[in-house]
Structure 1
Amino acid sequence: MERFFRSLKTERLSYQSFANHQEVVENVESYIYIYFYNYKRIHSVIGYITPAQKMAELKKVA
């Protein structure tokens, strides 16, 4: 976790300024999704499909 937060602070947040809390949240979420989370790896818990496939499936239902 320490390495993650160090990378987040030095690579993403140090040279930016934000107008509100929502901008910070969106920026951090995009950093996590782009650099740290593997959307292509299948997960047994969600029926051996990728997280992206599961999200698309849930959006269809909603």
Structure 2
Amino acid sequence: MHHSDRGVQYASQTLRKLLQREGLTMSMSRKGDPWDNAMMESFFRSLKTEWIDTGYATEAQAQMEVFKYIEMFYNPTRRHSALGYLSPAEYERRYEAGQLTPVEVAARC
């Protein structure tokens, strides 16, 4: 699933074909409803403010650094107010273990 706002770059035929070729479904927020994409906007704000972009020799190197930020810091360590000040990994672990009530889960969506 590839979710985005309705920006022209995300509605392009080129992107549609790429997503289709990769077997991904395109999803877009509703017109005039910025809350549809609030979680992704928050993630990218965090990425831009917390991740030190030092310039990279190759695209592959940049991709690896973003991957490390997500998998080594953001998911396992970074606490989120929207998740009751748990990291995404800890929230998911508790959810899978049945330690969150449906009300707690719904309140976070």
Alignment length (residue pairs) = 44
Q: For 1:18, what is the secondary structure of its paired residue?
A: coil
Structure 2 length-normalised TM: 0.33
Compare the two structures and name the one with the higher strand fraction: 2
Percent of residue pairs identical = 34
Matched, 1:10 2:49: yes
Q: 1:3-56, CA deviations, whole angstroms, 9 ceiling, x for partnerless residues? A: 110111121144x11111011110111111122322782786xxx8xxxxxxxx
Which residue in 1 is equivalent to 2:63?
Answer: 25
Structure 1 CA distance for aligned equivalents of residues 58 and 72 of structure 2? 22
Structure 2 CA distance for aligned equivalents of residues 7 and 33 of structure 1? 14
Structure 2 CA distance for aligned equivalents of residues 22 and 9 of structure 1? 18
What amino acid maps onto 1:23 in structure 2?
A: Q
Which residue in 2 is equivalent to 1:36?
Answer: 74
What amino acid maps onto 1:41 in structure 2?
A: R
Structure 2 CA distance for aligned equivalents of residues 7 and 31 of structure 1? 11
Gaps of 5+ in 1: 49-62
Of the two structures, which has the highest relative contact order with CA contacts closer than 8 Å and spacing of 6 or more?
A: 1
Structure 2 CA distance for aligned equivalents of residues 33 and 18 of structure 1? 19
Structure 2 CA distance for aligned equivalents of residues 24 and 43 of structure 1? 32
Q: What value does the CA root-mean-square deviation take over the aligned residues?
A: 2.5
Deviant stretches of 4+, over 4 Å? none
Query: Which structure would you say has the larger Rg?
Result: 2
